[in-house]
């Protein structure tokens, strides 16, 4: 059995906590929910990159910055997708943003795993 998805999930759970904390702080300070969601996601992006690079995919230091550039690009796409899902929950379903954010992140996680693995780390 390939442990990568489970390791990705473990890193993601930690990043999830960072994300939700940052979202709560930003939203609580008056940031619009979509902006708070995107900034919170990108804020946890660097943490998750290091965790996924060394723990999930067990890669060395070679190509660190080039891969981080790709990871950040994918992270921007995933952040925008998660913000879109959150907007759907808020605008269409009437969900409070602090409840919609955790759900949006869970929904985009499988898509994020595939993109980060193939694009950022160039693994199949």
pLDDT in tens, 28-83: 999 999 999 889 988 898 888 999 889 988 888 998 998 889 888 998 898 899 99
CB atoms within 10 A of CB 49: 23
Query: Number of structural domains, the chain?
Result: 1
Confidence of residue 85 (pLDDT cuts 50, 70, 90): very high
Burial of 84 (0-12, 13-18, 19+ CB in 10 A): middle
pLDDT tier, 124 (very low <50, low <70, confident <90, very high otherwise): low
Domain around 9: 4-120
């Amino acid at each position: 059995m390939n442990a990568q998805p489970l390791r990705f999930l473990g890193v993601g759970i930690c990043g999830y906590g960072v994300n939700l904390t940052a979202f709560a702080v930003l939203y609580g300070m008056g940031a619009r929910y979509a902006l708070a969601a995107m900034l919170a996601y990108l804020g946890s992006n660097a943490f998750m990159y290091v965790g996924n690079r060394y723990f999930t995919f067990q890669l060395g230091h070679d190509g660190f910055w080039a891969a981080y550039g790709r990871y950040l690009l994918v992270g921007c796409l995933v952040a925008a997708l998660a913000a879109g899902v959150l907007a759907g929950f808020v605008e269409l379903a009437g969900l409070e943003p602090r409840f919609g954010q955790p759900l949006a992140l869970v929904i985009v996680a499988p898509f994020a795993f595939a993109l980060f693995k193939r694009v950022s780390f160039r693994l199949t």
